[in-house]
Structure 1
Amino acid sequence: MDALTLDVRLDGFSEPVGILARDDNGGIAYAYRPDYVANPEAVALSLSLPLTDEPYGDVAARPFFDNLLQERDGALADIMAREGLARDDIAGLLFHLGKDCAGALSVLPAGAPPVKLPGDYGSDYVRIGMERMVDIVDALHRHRRLPDGTADPSPLAGVQSKIALTYLPDGSFAEPRPGSGAPTTHILKVADQGHLHDARDEAEALSLSRALGFDTTDATVMPFGEMEALLITRFDRALTGDGRIVRIHQEDFAQALGLPAALKYERRGTPGRCFDTPAIRRVLEATADPAGEKDIFIKATLFDLMIGNTDGHAKNFALLHDRGGRIRMAPRYDLLPTRLDANLTEELAFRIGAADRLAAITADDFAAFLQALGIESAAARKRIRAGHTVDIAASLARQLNGLDKRNMKRFADLIASNIGTLTAAFGLAAPAAVEQRDAFLDRAGGWLMS
């Protein structure tokens, strides 16, 4: 294997921020450029790769750069077959695919000009007609090749079919003009034939998140012919004062922790190298407001438990890196009440104390979860557990009638069931609206076990 050197670029900086190198044995290393480290506006690529003059070896660099590739290995098959590359040849794959990394980063052949630039609504986008949009949605729904001439300009992680595009101020869809380097502004997520209700389920979950005061990305269910898809506003985009669209550097928790995508669930890792509560604490304590972010994460965890979202894995939480090194939690995104699907696991993405599912959580488990996040006072842990649980349960209970009216009764019954399970485990009274609900039935027609 030949040695290879690649430039790593970050949108908003005129010169490469660092160098990714592959040696003759296939090992990779990453180093920031000295002039970039000296820049007071410099942003670290990752919590796992802090700004330093020293290079990072394979163990540190590989997880971060591997996470820049599409999570679905099938999406890499063509380039691997055409170029004769192995899946673990991260630098070789990025040589061909690095210009399309999701987010503000790009990895390019040494000396190549930047390919990601701010966008202008008026000049940098080409409209997509609705007939073509229907064809695109149908192709994603059926897992078929996109219509000729359609390319996803920002490959996205995850197992659901989705495409990055731009939603213009006049309500039409568009794609970046070839060669413009302009960012997309939205993600269109399309359910497959076995999950036709996912768009509405996720839209409702995101709406509930906003209603309860969480910073949450906007999402709208839109019709495309006989299909519905979920249009999601990208949280890693911003509009400048002069009307240009720019990218904000972000990373998910897997990247921040130096974990490959394969270890995004706690159950797949090993002690000290997994997505567990101590690891989450390390990420939150690196933000500009550790106490505030921890409190939000605790509330978000209770919210997820109550709405039946068991898929809060390391790639479904993210950080935003602002100029000058300020780090903050990204808005909530990718919220799906997975317990509505009886074919999906009840196992939580990360354990709450010793519990790996809602039905197993006790007051002691939640206290252990809080302590692992750094809440040292037993009195504070008890106050947080009771106060946050009661508040979130009451707020969600007030949303149940609205869900009924929007033909989401089954989701409302799931929420009520989960609230009842959690409040009983914590020795708290459930809201009256919860007690009056029908029991939740799984799709097989059986009772939800708790």
Structure 2
Amino acid sequence: MDSSENPVGVLVRDQRGGLAFAYDRAYVSQPGAISLSLSLPLTAEPFEEAVARPFFDNLLQERDGALSDIMAREGIARDDIAGLLFHLGKDCAGALSVLPAGSPPTKVPGDYQKDYQRLEDDRLIAIVDSLHKRRRLPAGTDDPSPLAGMQSKTALTLLPDGSLAGPLPGSGAPTTHILKVPDQEHIHDGSLEYEAMRLSHAVGFSTADVSLLPLAGIEVLLVTRFDRALDRDGRVVRIHQEDFAQALGLPSALKYERRGAPGRRFDVDAVRRILDATDDPAGERELFIQATLFDLLVGNVDGHAKNFALFHEPGGRIRTSPRYDILPTRLDDTLTDELAYRIGDATTLDEISGEDFDLFLQTVGISSAAARQRLSKRYATEIATKLAGHLDRLGKGGQKPLADLIASNMRTLLGALDIEVPGPARDRDAYIGRAGGWLLS
């Protein structure tokens, strides 16, 4: 783990490719030791294949193209997790590194003064252009922190003087920001995610900081990494976190409820189990309810298991991370409108009824019928009212489709919950994305 001189544990593979993981006994016994995952609690007993494989598989990139070189060069199959991590584990996602036994640590704190090299403008533009066109990064440019997800992005560091930089090769220093570059088919994704993240912050959620930069004629999104901090010496350090797929022991292929099976899927019941393990289950449940309402209203139906995360802190304390990766995916007619997890029995926004939302709250863990009715009315009203206050700004700022989508979603969801629609949303144009156009009122 970043900043640790000694291994947390040992990952092994048998001759048939089966994995097992065991914590180092000295690590388990030390004060302040933290578990790698809810699925890998601190214990001296080893974890076998069924538990070990999903967690370590999730340390690899989701984009198979990013693994193709090492697979071709070394003759390694995609399901050979240990083989891939043998070659790629020093740079895998998060605060962890997976290294051949006996190797010294490769992930260490970063000193702004000596561990980073500023990216010249032409170099930065070449990187953006490559990501935009989904081509290989320019020669001599290595992605220092492979990232999960399907969007075109790379990890960089924002220096105190405001310039962007990369860690010096071999430094092991962390990056501090993620640069997301929309591809040619989704040119507006940067500005859309920027607005959705700003709305999340304005509504009151702890949300990763974002800024919009014009580079190479493209609006790219610069996201502050929530899993970074400064130590007492002002050095950049990594904070250990895991996404909900890892916490549930699910491979990334099962990040949507529709891809799993009962008992082994990302659904609201599984989320409740995760939240029950945090330091403040009641508070985290209410935050998840609010986040669900917000996502429904802004049109983000891609809140899958890898878009929610947990912090593991010294002493075994666990809390959810700030919100990240919020994109109004319903604006893209090429994507499904099916929800990442069902609300009651509903699989789309249009199917949600009052009974479905009540069942959702019950599954989250709100047992009192009176409390469910009170919470649904209170949170839906509060979030809708705050969002409605931004519709005019969005419309005048070039984001009319997003403003109209939010207003349409309000009328649909609040109508189902028998809640009055805020005035600014009642009379806006209706967004009819899947019917192929706009309906002007």
TM-score bracket for this pair, using the shorter chain length: over 0.9
Q: Does 1:83 align with 2:59?
A: no
Partner residue in 2 for 1:94: 85
Deviation at 1:389, TM superposition (A): 0.6
Q: Does 1:270 align with 2:273?
A: no
Aligned mates of 2:126, 2:435 — CA distance in 1: 33
SS in 1 for 2:117: strand
Alignment of 1:291-306 (within 5 A): 291-306=282-297
Partner residue in 1 for 2:48: 57
Q: Does 1:209 align with 2:212?
A: no
Q: From 370, 375, 384, give the equivalent of 1:384.
A: 375
Partner residue in 1 for 2:249: 258
Q: Which amino acid aligns with 1:86?
A: A
Partner residue in 2 for 1:322: 313
Partner residue in 1 for 2:158: 167
Deviation at 1:443, TM superposition (A): 7.4
Deviation at 1:89, TM superposition (A): 0.6
Q: Is the CA contact 1:64–1:258 (under 8 Å) kept in the aligned structure 2? A: yes
* Deviations 1:244-290 (CA, angstroms, capped at 9, x unpaired): 11000010000000000000000000000000011000111111111
Alignment of 1:106-125 (within 5 A): 106-125=97-116
SS in 1 for 2:305: coil
Q: Which amino acid aligns with 1:223?
A: P
Aligned mates of 1:182, 1:257 — CA distance in 2: 29
Q: From 334, 343, 354, give the equivalent of 2:325.
A: 334
Partner residue in 2 for 1:6: none
Greater CA deviation, 402-411 or 98-107?
402-411
Aligned mates of 1:19, 1:55 — CA distance in 2: 9
Partner residue in 2 for 1:435: 426
Deviation at 1:213, TM superposition (A): 0.5
Q: Report the count of equivalent residues.
A: 439
Q: Which amino acid aligns with 2:290?
A: K
SS in 1 for 2:437: coil
Structure 1 residues 222, 443: closer, same or farther in 2, change over 3 A? Answer: farther
Q: Which amino acid aligns with 1:346?
A: D
Q: Does 1:357 align with 2:348?
A: yes
Deviation at 1:322, TM superposition (A): 1.2
Deviation at 1:34, TM superposition (A): 0.3
* Deviations 1:300-325 (CA, angstroms, capped at 9, x unpaired): 00000000000000000001111221
Aligned mates of 1:209, 1:99 — CA distance in 2: 34
SS in 1 for 2:325: coil
Return structure 1 stretches of 4+ with deviation > 4 angstroms. none
Using the size of structure 2 for normalisation, the TM-score is 0.98
Q: Does 1:366 align with 2:371?
A: no
SS in 1 for 2:237: strand
Q: Is the CA contact 1:310–1:338 (under 8 Å) kept in the aligned structure 2? A: yes
Q: Which amino acid aligns with 1:198?
A: D
SS in 2 for 1:166: strand
* Deviations 1:180-207 (CA, angstroms, capped at 9, x unpaired): 1110000000111010000000000000
Partner residue in 2 for 1:41: 32
Partner residue in 2 for 1:104: 95
Q: Is the CA contact 2:4–2:105 (under 8 Å) kept in the aligned structure 1? A: no
Partner residue in 2 for 1:282: 273
Unaligned runs of 5+ in 2: none
Aligned mates of 2:168, 2:427 — CA distance in 1: 55
Aligned mates of 1:19, 1:172 — CA distance in 2: 39
Aligned mates of 1:293, 1:45 — CA distance in 2: 20
Partner residue in 2 for 1:158: 149
Deviation at 1:447, TM superposition (A): 5.5
Q: Which amino acid aligns with 1:186?
A: H
SS in 2 for 1:298: helix
* Deviations 1:54-92 (CA, angstroms, capped at 9, x unpaired): 000000000000000110111111111111111111101
Partner residue in 2 for 1:7: none
Partner residue in 2 for 1:308: 299
Greater CA deviation, 222-231 or 260-269?
222-231
Q: From 157, 165, 170, give the equivalent of 1:179.
A: 170
Q: Which amino acid aligns with 1:201?
A: L
SS in 2 for 1:94: helix
Partner residue in 1 for 2:210: 219
Aligned mates of 2:304, 2:400 — CA distance in 1: 27
Greater CA deviation, 62-71 or 429-438?
429-438
* Deviations 1:343-362 (CA, angstroms, capped at 9, x unpaired): 11110000000000000001
* Deviations 1:382-438 (CA, angstroms, capped at 9, x unpaired): 101111111111111011111122111110000000001011101111011111211
Q: Does 1:410 align with 2:406?
A: no
Partner residue in 2 for 1:241: 232
Aligned mates of 2:216, 2:134 — CA distance in 1: 17
